[in-house]
Amino acid sequence: MKIIKPTPVGILTRTYRQAGNEHLGIAIPVMVTLGNAPGLVSESELWNTVGSELGGYALDAALPKQHAEFLVAGRTYGQYCDTAHMCRVGIRFAGLHKQLQVSGAREWNGNTPSQAAPFECLPLDWPLAYGGAGYAENPRGIGYPTRAPGSAQLLPHIAYPDAPVVTRERGTAPVAFTPIAADWPQRCALYGEMDERWLKEDCPGFPRTMHPDYFNVAPRDQQFPQLDSLPPGAAYELTHMHPERPTLAGELPPLRARCFVQRIRESDLTEVAMRLTTVWFIPHRERAIMIFHGVARVQEFDAQDVACLLLAVECHNEPRSDAHYRRVFDLRMDSKRGALHALRDLDLAPQSMLAAAGDADGDGNGHAQAGLQVSALQRNLQQRAREQASQAAAAGAVISAPEVATTRPPRLDELAEFVERNEKLAETQLAALEQTRQQIEAKHPELTASRNAAARRGPPQSFASNRAQHPARPEMLEQERDAERKLRASYLQSAHYQEAAARLDTASSAALRERVAAGHGRGESLAGLDLTGADLSGMNLRHVDLAGALLESADLSGTDLTGANLRDAVIARAALAGTTFAKADLSGANLSLTDCEGTDFSEAVLDRCLFERAVWRNCNARRASARRVQFSGCRFEAVDFTGGTLSELVFIEQTLTDVTFHAATIRKLAFIQCRLDRVAFTAADIEGFGFVETIAQQIRFDHARLRKACFAKDTVLDRADFSRASLTEVNLRHTQARNARFSGATISQCDFSDAGLQQADLSDAKFDGGHLVRTDLSGASLAGADLIGAQMRRAVLHDADFNEANLFRANLAEASIDASTRLDHAYLEQTVFHPLRKEPHDVRA
């Protein structure tokens, strides 16, 4: 689900089943400062504080509490102790008062407690309260079990002031400010009984006999049984729990939380009532975490029917309308500017508290330092202007120092309007420029022809042509050579964006052919040679060195370049019909805008090549190496990559038809919004593989090995063949794969949840940790499949065949099973069928 919230606010969610229905528990934690003028604290500080200060306790379970409570992650300090090294700590909050007596380390001297040792700091937690191994109400404590006199035994550090440990034989009630564990009897007794009805209707949720107080985790004397929510602006006073301030007192900010749910395939926002039920105090950090709880009924056990949650906090006496939050939701869901509107915390949180939280940054949006830098720059410019005006005055000229504009950069919450305003301004200016251009060209048509003639095309001009007329000094030659290298490097990457270089005339081409043939015949290197537009068709240039050569618009049809060195060559727009690049090194070459018809790339090195808007048709790329190749806007028809090595490739909006990657080694390959027809990865070794919004019908992965692959977001694999393949950590969630074949496949730690596998063949497939939650297996064959422990909750199994399948400990709870589902001779030992599926209902009722 998508979460929309102000940046200081946290979010915790948990799905659970209760009374035969599915629920989504929602907790909104908000950290605030203690003391005067409390403000919101960033979410990053919230979670960092939870990790460092809560002593390993979970912040919250996101389960709705019957009534309000508070917790304290606190400590006390030796400076508050009396001469006996004892002190009292306490808290007053919303009408409750709790005190603890804390002492330094003590032990029994016979039947008499020893003098307490001095201490600097002690946590107010269960390990220092009475208890110990075997003491059910606090197995983490100290002082239990009682040992015989003469043996060393420590006393607890923490106790109620009116119930200290007096004798060795009698203990005392364990006491602390922190949560009670779920398996301690104080809470365990409230859980209820997991009876037959629970097994059939509520498993794995909570029993119907569970007491609602089970969700409350604080000690009983920190709970408010009469309050389902804490009052706004509740007062607090914390004593002896801060290293410098004996007392911390104040009021919590009067905040309330708002939460809206948008469900899948719905546009409406439904509000979820939120209650302030928990406060964590962290006195030594001068922080408190206010936790608001709510619960929403959902249809799916994992809340997959929830599309989005919108969260907000507002002052109790300054509520915002539902229409306001609808407008914010629409703005943040906008595909064009939603990211900018997401920076507007002011829409979802009180401005006053955001400013208080951002005082350290200046304006609550982290721009204080930027503002200071701008001000310093303005002052510097103003000073320089005054100095120049003074110098001009000394020379007899009278000018006034210009005023420097006092503009500032936009704040984060102003960015959306700033961008929109400037885009409109730019559109207006561009329209005016276009109108002016059209008027000028209408009056002076010769300018259009002149501009077209001046368009950049071909390789950059060499500096050498000017040296005869203007000899360069020796120190300039190296600079010229460096400049030429940079120009060539730029041309290598951008040749296909320029106007096409012209083909040479017959005479010029003949001269270059003769030069190339002669040089190659003598075994000379032709590296860097400018052959732009030359006709080299049909030549035998096996093993030629053309590294860095300029071959844009050259005709290489039928040319044999077997074993040639073409590293970093510019081959854009070249004619490559029937060209042989077998075993050639084309690393880093630019082959954009080429039409490769019957081209042979077998065993060639294509690493880092640039193929933009190229066409491969009837090409042989067997055993070729293609690492980090840039394919953009290409089309592949009848291409053979058998045995090739492909890695770090991304295909975006491209078409592959009748392409085979048989036995190829593939690492990190992605297809995004592509179309693949009759593409085969048979027996390929694949790791790191992604399909996004890609149509790949009849694709073949039979006998392949796939690891860490993902088929996501509207990918279609109808009639795909994964038979006898090995799939490990493959994600096919929400993938459509009707009539696909997985027969005999080994499927380990793969997720088929929400996939469409209608009429698929999974016979004899072996699943290890298989997830088929809500998978549509209508008419599918799973005969002989090994589905031990498979998670198939709410799967659709109409007309599915499980003949002789192993469903030991498989979870088929709420699965759609009817008379057409064939479970003949299936192994059903410990298979879970409960709770049974219920007809969908309106969860908002």
1-55 pLDDT, tens digit each: 999 999 999 999 999 999 989 999 999 999 999 998 899 999 999 999 999 999 9
Q: Is the pLDDT of residue 385 over 70?
A: yes
- Kindly tell me the burial class for residue 333, based on how many C-beta atoms sit within 10 Å of its own C-beta (0-12, 13-18, 19 or more): middle
Q: Give the confidence band of 838 by pLDDT, cuts at 50, 70, 90.
A: confident
φ/ψ (deg, to 5) at 312: -155, 160
Alpha carbon distance 216, 710 (integer Å) = 41
Element (H, E) at 748: strand 746-748
Please tell me the predicted confidence (pLDDT) of residue 430: 87
- Burial of 454-490, coded b for 16+ CB within 10 Å and e otherwise, reads eeeebbeeebeeeeeeeeeeeeeeeeeeeebeeebee
Alpha carbon distance 575, 457 (integer Å) = 18
In this structure, the number of other CB atoms found within 10 A of the CB of residue 742 comes to 31
How large is the average pLDDT for residues 350-358?
73
Q: Token match 């629920």: residue?
A: 23
Alpha carbon distance 320, 313 (integer Å) = 10
* DSSP codes joined into one string, 256-316: EEEEEEEETT----EEE--EEEEEEEEGGGTEEEEEEEEEEEESSTT-TTEEEEEEEEEET
Q: From the CA atom positions of the chain, what is the Rg in Å?
A: 37
Amino acid at position 123, single letter: P
In this structure, the number of other CB atoms found within 10 A of the CB of residue 432 comes to 10
How large is the average pLDDT for residues 694-706?
96
Please tell me the predicted confidence (pLDDT) of residue 209: 92
Please tell me the predicted confidence (pLDDT) of residue 450: 56
Q: Domain 604-716: which topology? A: Pectate Lyase C-like (2.160.20)
Alpha carbon distance 584, 625 (integer Å) = 11
Strand 158-159 versus strand 142-143 pairing type: unpaired
Q: Is the pLDDT of residue 455 over 60?
A: no
| Per-residue tokens: 186 | 């104080």
Q: Token match 């002492």: residue?
A: 103
pLDDT (tens digit, 9 = 90+) per residue, 93-119? 999 999 999 999 999 888 888 999 999
Element (H, E) at 768: strand 766-768
Q: What is the chain's length?
A: 845
Span 747-840: which CATH code? 2.160.20.80
Alpha carbon distance 807, 753 (integer Å) = 17
Sheet of 247-251: strand order equals 158-159, 96-103, 86-93, 235-239, 247-251
pTM recorded for the entire structure:
0.80
Q: Is the pLDDT of residue 299 over 80?
A: yes
272 or 475: whose pLDDT is higher?
272
Residue among 292, 290, 287 at smallest CA distance from 234: 290
Cβ–Cβ < 8 Å for 623, 643: yes
pLDDT (tens digit, 9 = 90+) per residue, 754-766? 999 999 999 999 9
Q: Token match 């993938």: residue?
A: 735
Residue among 46, 38, 64, 35 at smallest CA distance from 8: 46
Please tell me the predicted confidence (pLDDT) of residue 234: 96
Strand 247-251 versus strand 635-640 pairing type: unpaired
Q: What average pLDDT does the chain have?
A: 90
Q: Give the confidence band of 406 by pLDDT, cuts at 50, 70, 90.
A: low
Residue among 190, 246, 192 at smallest CA distance from 215: 190
Q: Give the confidence band of 462 by pLDDT, cuts at 50, 70, 90.
A: low
598 - beta bridge partners?
Answer: none
Alpha carbon distance 827, 542 (integer Å) = 65
In a 3-state reduction of DSSP, which class is residue 728?
strand
Q: Is the pLDDT of residue 547 over 80?
A: yes
Please tell me the predicted confidence (pLDDT) of residue 635: 96
Q: Give the confidence band of 440 by pLDDT, cuts at 50, 70, 90.
A: confident
| Per-residue tokens: 591 | 């082959």
- Distances from the Cα of 230 to the Cα of 13, 90, 280, 446, angstroms: 21, 19, 13, 80
C-alpha neighbours within 13 Å on the C-beta side of residue 278: 30
Cβ–Cβ < 8 Å for 128, 156: yes
Please tell me the predicted confidence (pLDDT) of residue 89: 97
Please tell me the predicted confidence (pLDDT) of residue 368: 44
Element (H, E) at 671: strand 665-672
Cβ–Cβ < 8 Å for 814, 793: yes
Element (H, E) at 692: strand 685-692
* Sequence ranges of the domains in the chain: 2-72+201-356, 77-123+126-175, 489-569+582-590, 604-716, 747-840
Q: Give the confidence band of 843 by pLDDT, cuts at 50, 70, 90.
A: low
Please tell me the predicted confidence (pLDDT) of residue 370: 44
**DSSP assigned state of 230:** P
How large is the average pLDDT for residues 382-393?
73
C-alpha neighbours within 13 Å on the C-beta side of residue 39: 15
C-alpha neighbours within 13 Å on the C-beta side of residue 133: 1
Q: Is the pLDDT of residue 630 over 80?
A: yes
Residues 6+ apart with CB under 8 A from 641: 621, 622, 624, 626, 659, 660, 661, 662, 664
* Torsion angle defined by CA atoms of residues 422, 424, 430 and 434, in that order, rounded to the nearest 10 degrees: -170
Residues 6+ apart with CB under 8 A from 470: none
How large is the average pLDDT for residues 340-347?
88
In this structure, the number of other CB atoms found within 10 A of the CB of residue 658 comes to 14
CA angle 523, 528, 530 (to 5 degrees): 105
Strand 96-103 versus strand 158-159 pairing type: antiparallel
Please tell me the predicted confidence (pLDDT) of residue 471: 59
Same fold across 604-716 and 747-840 = yes
Alpha carbon distance 441, 438 (integer Å) = 5
Q: Is the pLDDT of residue 813 over 80?
A: yes
Amino acid at position 131, single letter: G
φ/ψ (deg, to 5) at 340: -70, -40
Cβ–Cβ < 8 Å for 119, 78: yes
Cβ–Cβ < 8 Å for 411, 363: yes
Residues 6+ apart with CB under 8 A from 563: 542, 543, 582, 583, 584
Taking 3-state DSSP, the helix, strand and coil percentages for the chain, each rounded to the nearest 5, stand at 20, 30, 50
Q: Give the confidence band of 407 by pLDDT, cuts at 50, 70, 90.
A: low
Amino acid at position 611, single letter: F
Alpha carbon distance 598, 575 (integer Å) = 11
Q: Give the confidence band of 623 by pLDDT, cuts at 50, 70, 90.
A: very high
Q: Give the confidence band of 451 by pLDDT, cuts at 50, 70, 90.
A: low
Please give the sequence-ordered ranges of beta strands (E in DSSP) within 118-246, or none if there are none. Answer: 121-123, 130-131, 142-143, 158-159, 223-224, 235-239
Cβ–Cβ < 8 Å for 673, 652: yes
Q: How far apart are the first and last CA of the chain?
A: 21
In a 3-state reduction of DSSP, which class is residue 139?
coil
Alpha carbon distance 270, 114 (integer Å) = 62
- Kindly tell me the burial class for residue 121, based on how many C-beta atoms sit within 10 Å of its own C-beta (0-12, 13-18, 19 or more): exposed
Which of 120-129, 592-601, 834-843 bottoms out in mean pLDDT, i.e. has the lowest?
834-843
How large is the average pLDDT for residues 821-831?
93
How large is the average pLDDT for residues 226-243?
96
Alpha carbon distance 412, 366 (integer Å) = 8
Please tell me the predicted confidence (pLDDT) of residue 364: 44
